Structure 1
Amino acid sequence: MTDDQVQRIASDPRYRRLVQARGRFGWMLATIMFVAYFGFVALIAFDKPFLAQPIKAGGVTSLGILIGFALILLAILLTGLYVARANRDYDAALAMGALLLAAGPAYADAIAGQTRQQPTNWTAILMFAAFALFTLGITRWAARRTRTAADFYTAGGGITGFQNGLAIAGDYMSAASFLGISAQIFTDGYDGLIYSIGFLVGWPIILFLMAERLRNLGKYTFADVASFRFAQAPVRSFAPTSTLVVVLFYLIAQMVGAGQLIKLLFGLRYEYAVGIVGVLMTLYVLFGGMTATTWVQIIKAVLLLGSATFMALMVLAQFGFSPEALFARAVEVKTGLAAATGLSPAEAATKGGSIMGPGNFIKDPVSAISFGMALMFGTAGLPHILMRFFTVPDAKAARTSVLWATGWIGYFYLLTFIIGFGAIVLVATNPGYLDGDGVLIGGTNMAAIHLAQAVGGNLFLGFISAVAFATILAVVAGLTLSGASAVSHDLYATVFRKGQADSAAELSVSRRTVLVLAAVAILLGIVFQKQNVAFMVSLAFAVAASGNFPVLILSLLWPGATTRGVVAGGTLGLMLAVGLTILSPAVWVTILGHPAAIFPYSSPAIISMPIAFLTIWLVSILDTSPRAAIDRAGYAAQRVRAETGIGASGASAH
């Protein structure tokens, strides 16, 4: 796009009104979501009794549950509202052709702790084998369609908004979401809902501020967006580094979780389980690329959503489809279990009722705010999630993707809440699921699996076991692909080859990187076998919120950002997030064995994220280099393309 075209569009009053209206509406909705969520976080931090009080006298359903469900529904409602208005007003205005005519031709989870090997579950193994063979067939089909780098990285940009929304949900709903959150609800009740809400509320922010702009500016990776108007080499050197750190810790957590989970479900040795995941992950990505990965994620999402729906309905059916009756029975069970430990009736009643309100999940206000920041803004910086916006043909499909993803993910988290309480009622007191010491066989992460058997028998148990394994495969495939694309596209093709690499060479590097990442993931999965890996997931979110998100949001929305600013701020945010996490209780005390943590809070985001923003701003405003002038001048062209899509890469699916 020429400077003259950019100037004519940017000065067109119709364009300016359109962009200003869309910006105001997006920021208004983002502010509503932000205030609602952090108001909820403030209540958790400062007024837990308020959230724990029942909605009506004599009932057990708490105000906190009502507020939590309302936040989930608010997130879905706001995304729907934005998409409806964007489809009606903004796209219609562009369709009139006013802007295009003015421009002329367009050139431009945590699975944690140790588990015990269980007897071989042949039903689960047979169902998993059937799933594996089916998805390998998809991979073979996808391999025939994967001929170029665009096909490998983004499925040729030909995935529909609905399909991509399901794939995003499949990528996001990890084993930690299904097993970990339901296990936390099984143990602590309401605290599990806090985690669910935190994971969900980042999606409206992505839609209101980023999704359409990401699709219009990007091609394969989020570095395409972050470096659009900046010097390529510095930004594309930082972005893959940050991507690989996020991917590595996320991948280790999934691999260790896979090993522990499959040891439980299938009765296999830990090393074999990790190896199986690594081999299948490699096959999916190596030969099928994004096409195979997308369809594995879609199939997994459908299976998981269907299974969770069946489980929740079966639980509610036993209580006349009354959540209040389910919650009341869960309180009775927890009260009885507390009384069995020797507590007085009054103490046991207090203990049982505590599952309806916040407990000890977040111990202090600073940790509450930091935790909220990491989850809300970390989602908007996860590279394997951002990469999915480049698989759709245009910005409209990108926003549709977020709407569907938010709806499916929100619905899933509502189901896990019912499943967790169902496990309290149907599993916690059933001797068939307890060992000789009265402890749940396999640990609390098995709560949802045991519930599957309780409501659907051995056949459904085998099905859920296979779905849980499929869940891990889908997530690690997406992670591996994003890591490989960062190395091949950002480092090799752009930094080392100065943009002169052909598609075949870039694809070859990407596939070799997949092999290296798979080998490293298997090795680290085995090395970290005996470690608690929950901190790795939180580190991934904290790094994404502290390194990637500030760079992305300021490069998209602030004309004053410069190359030096975003590289300095992103690098400092990355280093602080990693360093403070190492010094936190999760690593310094639990993993390294020191008596006390140097950094006392569970999440570093409250420190690292603001410092990253401040550094980008400060370095940018002090930057008087010739490159800084180019960076600032380039914002006008970037904004025109980000808002209109003129010059954006199109679909090449075949």
Structure 2
Amino acid sequence: MTGANIALNVGVFVVFVLITLFIVYKAGSRNATASDYYAAGSSFTGPQNGVALSGDFLSAASFLGISGSIAVNGYDGFLYSVGWVVSWLLGLMVISERLRNTGRFTLGDVLAFRMRQRPVRAAAANVTLVISLFYMIAQMAGAGALMALLLDVHTAGGQALVIAVVGVIMVLYVLLGGMKGTTWVQIIKAVLLIVCVTLMTVFLLGKFGFSLSAIFDEASLNSSLGPDILQPGARYGGEPMDRLDFVSLALALVLGTACLPHVLMRFYTVPNAREARRSVVWATWMIGIFYLCTLVIGFGSLALVGSTTIAEAPGGENSAAPLLAFRIGGAVLLGIVCAVAFATILAVVAGLTLTASASFAHDVYANVIKRGKADPHEEVKVARLTAVVVGVLAIAGGIAANGQNVAFLVALAFALAASANLSTIVYSMFWKRFNTNGTLWAIYGGLGSCIVLIVFSPSVSGERTSIFPDADFAWFPLGNPGLVSIPLSFLFGYLGTILSRETPDEARTAEMEVRSVTGIGAGLR
């Protein structure tokens, strides 16, 4: 990288940030109520929200982590993509319509609908904060890897400074724009990202005579694994425990998507359940196209760049896509790709920050502390203050996790979401006997068991790729705990319910059933 190249890359990035900050400011200036700040006044159409949903979902893990994982692990790296595309079927068929009809702003609105408000809302806010922070840490780690390559920064201190700058910009997005501004940034980012990966894919296919086989053959020649890169087992083969680890990963990916707080909250930005369903359909198409492109980009980076160069670059395997861009289009294309990827990180982290701050302000401040009598303007002020605090925590966590594969880190966040939220959503919607005690057991039991298993897994210690490679306190053998923690959350919810003497409110249960299916009274609390 030369000084001129770095200046060009920074220029492209700064232009994008300034344009999007202006859009966020203009959109946010029309925020007049709490509904505007939290849910954009439910003013977006299904297609608009679907594109924004894909923007929320297609994060640094998707663009950088998946491409890098395919370049390093080949066939096994693409398994992430398969799990994430399939996962949207759960959101379409089970969650999107019923959630939109039942809640108003947050997941806590749904879970507390027929339960005791204060403990359930507090639990929902706690789990939203934990999942959002975990997801944000992965995005910030991706930002460090990306900007290390973009600015040719090799020192840990320099990358930490970059992560801090990312955190400041994302907080500005949330403070200035709320949900409306953040949604428009997501739409712009999603369109840019799809166009970017599509053009790179078409170029790669053209370079190899529009033959995937030619790309695969060249990739196998430039991989340290040789032809085995095209076969199952490069990452999850070999030992039976490795294959079981893949099953656990797949379960977390498929069941975790529709349980992510920032994905759930986006269903409230549309006016009705029909538009919520259309959102998921549009998002699924966008995401499916994107992941097909990452297959070509991942193997294309292996074919043109090589596994050795990718491994030695700043950011490691997360640098596969930017390195490919530099190889095929020079500094200009690298600057554009890095700007798009960086916009991806900014937009996703802004969405997560907004979700975490809204959950605390709406569920804890307004409904637990103020017992439902909070002034809407004060509530929004608390949300903005919370956004700043969450931003600081995300910066610290991103610096600690810098250098890890972001796709892998995000997979752990998916396990947390599925463990804490899936059982409570399903039981709340479909089990009439489910009560407050069962809700608390499911949330805290699923979340707690998942965190414990992550801390004492090879993801954190005991292996070269662990967060703490020089320590070894792992006793749980799986890298992703979803196979154990997700069933445990269902078990905890069941036991908590049947062991409690609490009688469900039959009137509220009937009202929730009618509202979730028909939409009558949707958005009212």
TM-score, structure 2 as length reference:
0.93
Residue 249 of structure 1: how far off its partner (Å)? 1.1
362, 377, 387: which one pairs with 1:489?
362
1:51-88: CA deviations, max 9, x gaps?
A: xxxxxxxxxxxxxxxxxxxxxxxxxxxxxxxxxxxxxx
Q: Which amino acid aligns with 2:476?
A: F
138, 153, 177: which one pairs with 2:62?
177
Residue 455 of structure 1: how far off its partner (Å)? 2.6
Partner of 1:77: none
The answer as to whether partners of 1:157 and 1:390 remain within 8 angstroms in 2 is: yes
Larger deviation: 392-401 or 138-147? 138-147
Matches within 5 A, 1:21-36: none
Going from structure 1 to structure 2, the CA distance change for 1:324 and 1:134 (only over 3 Å counts) comes to same
Residue 265 of structure 1: how far off its partner (Å)? 0.8
The answer as to whether partners of 2:361 and 2:380 remain within 8 angstroms in 1 is: yes
Question: Partners of 1:352 and 1:536 in 2: how far apart?
Answer: 27
Residue 633 of structure 1: how far off its partner (Å)? 4.5
Partner of 1:245: 130
Partner of 2:267: 389
Consecutive unaligned residues of structure 1, counting only runs of 5 or more, are 1-115, 339-350
Residue 545 of structure 1: how far off its partner (Å)? 0.8
Partner of 1:500: 373
Partner of 1:300: 189
1:167-216: CA deviations, max 9, x gaps?
A: 11111111121111111111221112101111221111111011000110
Partner of 1:33: none
Partner of 2:291: 413
1:484-537: CA deviations, max 9, x gaps?
A: 011100000011111001211111110111111112222333344466766642
Going from structure 1 to structure 2, the CA distance change for 1:615 and 1:178 (only over 3 Å counts) comes to same
Larger deviation: 612-621 or 263-272? 263-272
Q: Which amino acid aligns with 1:311?
A: M
- SS of structure 1 residue aligned to 2:461: helix
Question: Partners of 1:605 and 1:487 in 2: how far apart?
Answer: 26
- SS of structure 2 residue aligned to 1:121: helix
Q: Which amino acid aligns with 1:555?
A: S
Q: Which amino acid aligns with 1:361?
A: R
Question: Partners of 1:173 and 1:533 in 2: how far apart?
Answer: 12
568, 575, 585: which one pairs with 2:448?
575
Question: Partners of 1:266 and 1:370 in 2: how far apart?
Answer: 37
Partner of 1:210: 95
**Structure 1 residue 320 corresponds to structure 2 residue 209:** yes
Residue 261 of structure 1: how far off its partner (Å)? 1.8
1:339-393: CA deviations, max 9, x gaps?
A: xxxxxxxxxxxx4221222123225343222112111111121101111000011
Matches within 5 A, 1:119-138: 121-138=6-23
Question: Partners of 1:261 and 1:276 in 2: how far apart?
Answer: 13
Question: Partners of 1:496 and 1:422 in 2: how far apart?
Answer: 54
Q: Which amino acid aligns with 1:580?
A: L
Aligned residues: 512
Partner of 1:403: 281
Partner of 2:392: 519
1:82-130: CA deviations, max 9, x gaps?
A: xxxxxxxxxxxxxxxxxxxxxxxxxxxxxxxxxx999961111111111
The answer as to whether partners of 1:120 and 1:267 remain within 8 angstroms in 2 is: no
Partner of 1:186: 71
Residue 293 of structure 1: how far off its partner (Å)? 0.7
Question: Partners of 1:168 and 1:587 in 2: how far apart?
Answer: 30
Going from structure 1 to structure 2, the CA distance change for 1:510 and 1:353 (only over 3 Å counts) comes to same
Question: Partners of 2:520 and 2:491 in 1: how far apart?
Answer: 32
The answer as to whether partners of 1:535 and 1:587 remain within 8 angstroms in 2 is: no
Question: Partners of 2:165 and 2:215 in 1: how far apart?
Answer: 39
The answer as to whether partners of 1:539 and 1:578 remain within 8 angstroms in 2 is: no
Larger deviation: 193-202 or 532-541? 532-541
Going from structure 1 to structure 2, the CA distance change for 1:517 and 1:259 (only over 3 Å counts) comes to same
**Structure 1 residue 236 corresponds to structure 2 residue 121:** yes
The answer as to whether partners of 1:118 and 1:266 remain within 8 angstroms in 2 is: no
121, 140, 165: which one pairs with 2:50?
165
Question: Partners of 1:529 and 1:326 in 2: how far apart?
Answer: 31
Question: Partners of 1:524 and 1:596 in 2: how far apart?
Answer: 20
Residue 231 of structure 1: how far off its partner (Å)? 1.0
Question: Partners of 1:418 and 1:512 in 2: how far apart?
Answer: 43
1:583-623: CA deviations, max 9, x gaps?
A: 11111323454446211111212221112111212222333
Residue 439 of structure 1: how far off its partner (Å)? 4.5
1:428-482: CA deviations, max 9, x gaps?
A: 29xxx949xx945753322211221233333222111111111110110011001
**Structure 1 residue 366 corresponds to structure 2 residue 251:** no
Question: Partners of 1:372 and 1:492 in 2: how far apart?
Answer: 36
Question: Partners of 1:527 and 1:441 in 2: how far apart?
Answer: 16
1:242-266: CA deviations, max 9, x gaps?
A: 1111011111221222123212212
Question: Partners of 2:364 and 2:442 in 1: how far apart?
Answer: 20
Partner of 2:496: 619
Partner of 2:412: 539
Larger deviation: 615-624 or 236-245? 615-624
The answer as to whether partners of 2:317 and 2:405 remain within 8 angstroms in 1 is: no
123, 139, 146: which one pairs with 1:254?
139
Partner of 1:344: none
454, 457, 472: which one pairs with 2:345?
472
Question: Partners of 1:217 and 1:239 in 2: how far apart?
Answer: 15
Going from structure 1 to structure 2, the CA distance change for 1:191 and 1:641 (only over 3 Å counts) comes to same
Question: Partners of 1:441 and 1:149 in 2: how far apart?
Answer: 42
Going from structure 1 to structure 2, the CA distance change for 1:578 and 1:154 (only over 3 Å counts) comes to same
The answer as to whether partners of 1:565 and 1:615 remain within 8 angstroms in 2 is: yes
Larger deviation: 310-319 or 358-367? 358-367
Partner of 1:604: 481
Question: Partners of 1:354 and 1:119 in 2: how far apart?
Answer: 40
- SS of structure 2 residue aligned to 1:588: coil
The answer as to whether partners of 1:168 and 1:405 remain within 8 angstroms in 2 is: yes
Question: Partners of 1:494 and 1:441 in 2: how far apart?
Answer: 46
Q: Which amino acid aligns with 1:455?
A: I
Consecutive unaligned residues of structure 2, counting only runs of 5 or more, are none
Q: Which amino acid aligns with 1:578?
A: I
Q: Which amino acid aligns with 1:130?
A: V
Question: Partners of 1:258 and 1:304 in 2: how far apart?
Answer: 16
Question: Partners of 2:245 and 2:279 in 1: how far apart?
Answer: 32
Going from structure 1 to structure 2, the CA distance change for 1:117 and 1:230 (only over 3 Å counts) comes to farther
Going from structure 1 to structure 2, the CA distance change for 1:582 and 1:117 (only over 3 Å counts) comes to farther
Aligned-residue Cα RMSD (Å) equals 2.2
Partner of 1:639: 513
The answer as to whether partners of 1:449 and 1:461 remain within 8 angstroms in 2 is: yes
Question: Partners of 1:155 and 1:629 in 2: how far apart?
Answer: 33
Question: Partners of 1:445 and 1:118 in 2: how far apart?
Answer: 23
Going from structure 1 to structure 2, the CA distance change for 1:428 and 1:369 (only over 3 Å counts) comes to closer
The answer as to whether partners of 1:154 and 1:391 remain within 8 angstroms in 2 is: yes
Question: Partners of 2:73 and 2:432 in 1: how far apart?
Answer: 46
Q: Which amino acid aligns with 1:410?
A: G
Question: Partners of 1:517 and 1:117 in 2: how far apart?
Answer: 36
